[in-house]
C-alpha cells in the first residue's frame, strides 16, 4: 500500500504500514543495506513469520503424509522465510523505483505482515507515482511467476513442489491484494495516478483513491462474511476491513487538507515579533509586546542575533503572579537549525519543513535576516480550524 505525504517521507508497503517510534527511527533491527538504504526487520515480523510456519504445518502434513515432523518443520520454516523475502522484494521494488527517480530513500522496514519504504519528496508526476506504487506488487507478481515456472520442473507432491506452490500463492495474494484499487494500498496510488493523469488535478486523483479505499474495505467485509468462515479468519477479515476504512478516511482528510495549501505562505503567517534580551523579566517583555502590537517574542543577543523563541504554551501555563520574577530566557526554546524557515516557503514545501522538526514556534528569515516568528497554531488554523481550537484548549 502507499501513504502519500507531501514533501516529506512517504510510505509504500505491504498489507499495512509499519509504525515508527516517536523519534522517527524505524522500528526494528538493521539487517543490511541496499545502495546505502538501511533495511530493518521488526521483532513482530519474525513473530508473524513463525505464525505463518505454524499455520502452514497442518496443510503441509496433509499434502505430505509420509514426511517426518522434522521435514514438515523445515518446509514450513522455508515458506515462512520466503514470506519475509516476498515482503522485502515488494519493498525493494518501491525502493529501487524511488531511487531511480532521484528520491531520497530513508529506510525499508518489515513489520509483521507489512512493509514500509520511507522516501522524499513525493512524486512530482502521475507517471512517477504510478511506477513507484506499481513496482512493489510487480515484484510479487514476478516471484509468483517464478514459482510457477519452478513447478514445471518438479512434482507438485514433492517437498520442493509444496514449498514452491505455497510461496507462489503467497506472492500471488500479495500481488492481487496490494493492487486493490483503494488507498492506502498500492492500487489506490495507481488509481490516484490515473485520476491525476486524466484530470490534471492531483487532489482529484487522491480523492478517487481514498473513495476507492472505502469500496475495498466494504468488499473485504463481504468477502469475510461469505468466505472467511468463523473464528480467526473472520476476525482478521473484519479487522483488515476496519483498518482499510480508517486509512482511507485519513487519506481523504489528507487530500482535503492539501486543497487548503495553495496560498499558504510562511511570510503571510509570520507574527509581529518583539526582540528582547534574555534577562528581561517576562512580565515586562509581555507589556512591551502588547504596547507595539507584537504577538511573539524572540530572545536576541546585543547585536540582534536571535537565540531563542518564547514558548507561548509555557507562558500560558505560568501564573501571572510569577511572571515578574521569571525572565524571558527561562520560558524560551533555543533555536535549532530545523526551527528556521525561509519566508518564501509556501504550500507543501512549508508543510514539509515544519514536519521535519516539530516545534510550537519557528523563526522566519528573509535572506538570512530575521523577520518574525511563525506559530504552529496559526499554520494549523489555516489547515484545520478544529484542530487549532483543540491545540489552544490544551495549552
Tens digit of each residue's pLDDT (9 = 90 or more) over 44-85: 888 888 888 888 888 888 888 888 888 888 999 899 999 999
Nearest CA among 59, 95, 92 for reference residue 75: 59
The parent domain of residue 234 ranges over: 2-258
Could you say which of 258, 281, 308 is where a domain stops?
258
Q: What is the CATH number of the domain that holds 277?
A: 3.10.580.10
Same domain, 240 and 292: no
Rounded Cα distance, 52 and 323, in Å = 61
Instruction: Identify the pLDDT of residue 395.
Output: 53
Give me the sign of the Cα torsion angle 129, 175, 47, 235.
Answer: positive
Instruction: Give yes or no: residues 149 and 244 share one domain.
Output: yes
Q: In terms of domains, do 279 and 154 share one?
A: no
Closest CA to 33 of 112, 99, 82, 131: 99
What's the pLDDT score for residue 24? 47
Predicted pLDDT of residue 21: 42
Query: Per DSSP, what are the bridge partners of residue 298?
Result: 275, 309
CA distance from start to end of the chain: 36
Cβ pair 272, 295 in contact under 8 A: yes
SS3 107: strand
Is 311 found in the same domain as 164?
no
Cell of 82: 520466503
- Counted residue by residue, the chain has a size of 395
Task: Give the helix ranges, DSSP H, for 228-337.
Answer: 232-258, 266-269, 282-292, 312-316
What's the confidence (pLDDT) of residue 392?
A: 54
Distances (CA, A) of 380 to 106, 325, 386: 27, 32, 9
| Local structure of residue 119 (DSSP, 8 states) | E
Rg (CA), the chain: 26
| Grid cell locating 374 | 511563525
Mapped onto helix, strand or coil, the DSSP state of residue 367 is coil
How far is residue 201's CA from residue 209's CA, in Å, rounded to a whole number?
13
d(Cα 359, Cα 189) in Å, to the nearest integer? 31
95-100 long-range contacts, Cβ below 8 Å, gap at least 24? 95/34, 95/37, 95/119, 96/34, 96/35, 96/135, 97/131, 97/132, 97/135, 98/12, 98/132, 99/35, 99/37
User: How high is the pLDDT of residue 391?
Assistant: 55
Same domain for 205 and 289, yes or no, is: no
Q: Is the peptide bond preceding residue 121 cis, with omega within 30 degrees of 0?
A: yes
281 and 181 within one domain: no
Q: Where do we find the cell 499554520?
A: 379
Separation CA 233–CA 174 (nearest Å): 17
Structural domain tally of the chain? Answer: 2
**Based on the domain organization, do 44 and 176 belong to the same domain?**
yes
The pLDDT of residue 2: 36
Any bridge partners for residue 115, and if so which? 110
* Residues 119 and 215 reside in one and the same domain: yes
Tell which of 220, 242, 258 closes a domain: 258
Contact 266, 372 (CB under 8 A): no
Residue 298 phi, psi dihedral angles, 5° rounding: -120, 135
Please give the model's pTM, rounded to 2 decimal places: 0.73
Task: Kindly state whether residues 118 and 230 are assigned to the same domain.
Answer: yes
Same domain? For 271 and 198 the reply is no
Q: In terms of domains, do 141 and 169 share one?
A: yes
CA distance 341 to 361: 10
Task: For the chain, 395 residues long, give each residue's pLDDT as a single digit of tens.
Answer: 333 333 333 555 544 333 344 344 556 789 899 999 999 998 888 888 888 888 888 888 888 888 888 888 899 989 999 999 999 999 999 999 999 999 999 999 998 777 889 998 889 899 999 999 999 999 999 999 999 999 998 887 888 999 999 999 999 999 999 999 999 899 999 999 999 999 999 989 999 999 999 999 999 898 888 876 666 777 878 888 898 999 999 889 888 877 877 778 889 999 999 999 989 999 999 999 999 999 999 999 888 889 999 888 888 888 888 888 999 989 999 998 889 999 998 887 888 888 888 888 899 998 878 889 998 888 888 887 766 566 555 55
**Residue 209 and residue 277 in one domain:** no
Write phi, then psi, for 295 (nearest 5 degrees): -115, 10
Q: State which of 258, 280, 301 marks the end of a domain.
A: 258
Q: Which of 91, 97, 95, 115 is nearest to 105 (CA)?
A: 95
Amino acid at each position: 500500500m502507499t501513504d502519500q505525504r507531501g514533501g516529506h517521507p512517504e510510505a509504500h508497503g505491504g498489507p499495512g504500514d509499519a509504525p515508527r517510534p516517536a523519534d522517527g527511527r524505524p522500528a526494528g533491527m538493521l539487517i543490511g543495506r541496499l545502495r546505502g538504504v538501511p533495511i530493518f526487520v521488526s521483532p513482530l515480523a519474525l513473530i508473524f513469520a513463525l505464525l505463518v510456519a505454524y499455520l502452514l504445518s497442518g496443510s503441509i502434513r496433509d499434502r505430505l503424509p509420509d514426511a517426518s515432523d522434522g521435514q514438515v518443520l523445515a518446509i514450513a520454516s522455508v515458506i515462512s522465510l520466503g514470506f519475509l523475502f516476498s515482503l522485502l522484494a515488494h519493498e525493494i521494488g518501491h525502493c529501487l523505483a524511488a531511487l531511480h527517480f532521484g528520491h531520497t530513500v530513508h529506510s525499508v522496514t518489515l513489520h509483521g505482515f507489512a512493509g514500509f519504504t520511507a522516501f522524499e519528496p513525493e512524486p512530482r508526476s502521475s507517471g512517477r507515482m504510478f511506477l513507484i506504487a506499481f513496482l512493489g506488487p510487480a515484484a510479487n507478481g514476478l516471484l509468483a511467476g517464478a514459482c510457477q515456472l519452478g513447478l514445471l520442473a518438479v512434482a507438485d507432491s514433492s517437498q520442493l513442489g509444496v514449498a514452491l506452490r505455497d510461496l507462489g500463492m503467497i506472492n500471488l495474494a500479495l500481488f492481487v491484494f496490494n493492487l486493490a484499487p483503494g488507498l492506502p494500498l498500492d492500487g489506490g496510488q495507481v488509481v490516484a495516478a490515473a485520476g491525476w493523469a486524466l484530470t490534471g488535478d492531483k487532489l482529484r486523483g487522491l480523492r478517487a483513491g481514498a473513495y476507492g479505499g472505502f469500496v475495498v474495505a466494504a468488499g473485504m467485509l463481504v468477502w469475510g462474511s461469505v468466505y472467511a468462515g468463523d473464528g480467526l479468519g473472520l476476525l482478521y477479515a473484519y479487522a483488515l476491513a476496519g483498518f482499510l476504512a480508517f486509512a482511507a478516511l485519513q487519506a481523504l482528510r489528507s487530500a482535503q487538507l492539501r486543497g487548503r495549501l495553495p496560498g499558504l505562505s510562511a511570510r503571510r503567517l509570520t507574527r509581529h515579533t518583539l526582540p528582547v534580551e534574555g534577562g528581561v523579566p517576562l512580565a515586562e517583555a509581555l507589556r512591551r509586546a502588547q504596547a507595539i502590537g507584537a504577538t511573539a517574542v524572540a530572545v536576541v543577543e546585543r547585536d540582534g542575533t536571535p537565540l531563542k523563541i518564547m514558548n507561548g504554551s509555557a507562558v500560558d501555563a505560568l501564573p501571572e503572579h510569577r511572571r515578574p520574577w521569571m525572565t524571558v530566557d527561562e520560558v524560551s526554546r533555543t533555536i535549532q537549525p530545523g526551527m528556521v524557515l525561509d519566508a518564501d516557503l509556501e504550500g507543501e514545501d512549508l508543510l514539509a519543513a515544519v514536519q521535519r522538526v516539530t516545534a510550537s514556534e519557528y523563526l522566519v528569515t528573509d535572506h538570512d535576516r530575521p523577520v518574525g516568528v511563525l506559530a504552529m497554531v496559526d499554520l494549523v488554523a489555516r489547515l484545520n480550524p478544529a484542530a487549532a481550537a483543540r491545540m489552544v484548549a490544551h495549552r
